Chain A
């Protein structure tokens, strides 16, 4: 039976328990990926959003992997501003060569030593993607190395699986551009649920702009710190729709509180009688609690559907400790386990592109030069995951 790409809108009619081959932990299958006959090296170049990253990964004969280097440079805009495609592309063009050189130096390898050059094919912002692909192509031609175009989301998932050792997890992919609940089935990362409008990180970033939080090191990080000082949980819309979520209405609602007459921008009461106030910290706290609760809910439902007890959180928002904590509480109640990473691997990086690229390269995949274009739209479930059973 052909699988629909998305099952979220009509779960009951399409998904029958017998259709799902989801391997339970303990039920191991033969993996199509053979251990390499020699060590393999790959360099990965990532620049789909406001970070340019380069990393070198090594796959060893015993099947283990080691990260030789992982360098990143972030384009940080002033408070109140987001990153525009053109300016972001200019940032990558300026920093790419420095970052690539640093990553090769740290790994102590030469470009001659790598087996393939991996780059992000999509999804992401057009101009930054194109700039990075142009560099990847030039290097590929200069050193006569094969090119591997990588799906950004699959990069996140593969790096997460490698770093945490999760076997068959439900993947929550949360970043500034994507919000998806994903599970593996039949050589495809199937999207079980996703955002219907903006990504969760986009919602956080844009709210950070509303209350003039700094974008350094990341707006989401500053919201998390601010939320720790919050005392008041304000009512916000709770927008899960089956397996999907929606954030744009929540953003509007939380923004509306900043026009409330109880709102104090400096967070301080006017005088001793001024008790019923709303502070930016309260809004950060309320926003986080609401949207993370929604994410935990759809993740829990996906766990029930595929019968997995593992949760892997990837993407930039995945390094939020409050999200990890809330997910852990849910997982404990279901006797499950949460796998999460720190910012080195959660936030966009080059090493994840190298990891996913090298896996497909070892399965014989290569991107011919003529096909090495980039694309802003490239869904997670379009990729044939040939390296998994």
Chain B
């Protein structure tokens, strides 16, 4: 994405219980922009039930911080889905 070879790229693939959950995670996390958009480029996408996140960062330190924050957000979303997913699904079948 850039000719500058100093950029660091990290790709994370996170499997979810369903494609719907992966899509929810993407949409919920996508809303908050990266705090340093000039130094961190984030691309989120969903393939079946897998959330794919790609980060391009200017420094290694930013790579660590960004991925750490992203995983914490994923953790929170996953726990919320785990807690309320069954209740949300139940109603649809009624």
Contact = CB atoms under 8 A, between A and B. Distances in A.
Query: For the complex, would chain B's binding face be called helix, strand, loop or mixed by DSSP majority?
Result: helix
B27 interface: yes
A188 interface: no
Given A97-B79, A141-B24, A134 B32 contact: yes
A143 interface: yes
B28 A97 contact: no
Contact of A111 (B27, B75, B79, B88): B88
Contacts of B88: 111-112, 142-143
Contacts of A138: 24-25, 28, 76-77, 80-81, 84
A166 to B, nearest CB: 36
Contacts of B85: 142
Interface residues of B, number: 22
A130 interface: yes
A97 B27 contact: no
A91 to B, nearest CB: 13
B83 A112 contact: no
B76 A135 contact: yes
A370 interface: yes
A372 B76 contact: no
B73 interface: yes
A110 interface: yes
Contact of A134 (B33, B76, B84, B87): B76
A142 B84 CA distance: 8
Given A111-B84, A111-B87, A111-B88, A93 B28 contact: no
A88 B71 CA distance: 18
A7 interface: no
Among B24, B25, B27, B31, max chain A CB count under 10 A is at B31
The 8 closest A-B pairs by CB, nearest first: A137-B28, A141-B24, A138-B80, A142-B88, A138-B28, A97-B83, A112-B91, A138-B77
Given A93-B76, A111-B87, 17 more contacts: A93-B72, A110-B87, A112-B91, A131-B76, A133-B31, A134-B29, A134-B73, A135-B76, A137-B28, A138-B25, A138-B28, A138-B77, A139-B84, A142-B80, A142-B85, A142-B88, A369-B31
21 contacts: A93-B72, A93-B75, A97-B80, A110-B87, A111-B87, A112-B88, A135-B76, A135-B80, A137-B27, A138-B24, A138-B25, A138-B80, A138-B84, A142-B80, A142-B81, A142-B84, A143-B84, A369-B27, A372-B31, A373-B32, A373-B33
